[in-house]
């Protein structure tokens, strides 16, 4: 197994790194983020759901913790752990894009997210068929 795959197979390590990064960035940006933050966009790229800043900052780390607990409670093979790690990394990127949008940057969130999700599916299929 190549080094990136070995790291991704260590799902708990990836989860800890992603949670740490999400919390660190959230804390670092907290004072500059708006009180109400967009967290979801429709297919046209328009925000269609907003929540308070604390929820927006803490929801994604909570989702990653939940995913990690589910992986610990189920019997997963290496391929499934790699796919789970990729999903957590995707959530990290999505949260960074959401922070960027809420800070006023013009982030094309829908095409980037779709491309990343498609890439993740391709890698997942590749991992599972090896």
Q: Are 7 and 14 in contact (CB under 8 A)?
A: yes
User: Please, which residues have CB within 8 angstroms of residue 80's CB and are 6 or more apart in sequence?
Assistant: 71
- Structural domain that includes position 87: 3-129
This prediction has a pTM of: 0.86
If one counts every other C-beta atom within 10 angstroms of the C-beta of residue 118, the result is 10
Reading the chain (130 residues) residue by residue, the pLDDT tens digits are 666 677 677 888 999 999 999 999 999 999 999 999 999 999 888 999 999 999 999 999 999 999 999 888 887 788 788 888 888 999 999 999 999 999 999 999 889 988 998 988 888 787 767 6
Q: Are 93 and 114 in contact (CB under 8 A)?
A: no
How many separate domains does the chain show?
Answer: 1
Tally: H helices and E strands in the chain: 5, 2
CA–CA dist 18, 2 (Å, integer): 21
What single DSSP character describes residue 45?
S
């Amino acid at each position: 197994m190549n080094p990136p795959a070995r790291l991704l197979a260590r799902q708990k390590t990836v989860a800890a790194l992603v949670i740490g990064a999400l919390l660190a960035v959230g804390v670092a940006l907290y004072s500059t983020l708006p009180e109400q933050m967009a967290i979801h966009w429709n297919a046209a790229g328009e925000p269609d759901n907003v929540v308070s800043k604390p929820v927006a900052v803490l929801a994604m780390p909570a989702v990653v913790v939940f995913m990690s607990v589910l992986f610990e409670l189920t019997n997963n093979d290496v391929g499934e752990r790699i796919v789970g790690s990729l999903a957590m990394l995707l959530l990290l990127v999505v949260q960074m894009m959401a922070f960027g949008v809420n800070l006023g940057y013009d982030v094309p969130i829908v095409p980037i997210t779709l491309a990343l999700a498609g890439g993740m599916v391709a890698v997942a299929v590749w991992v599972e068929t090896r």
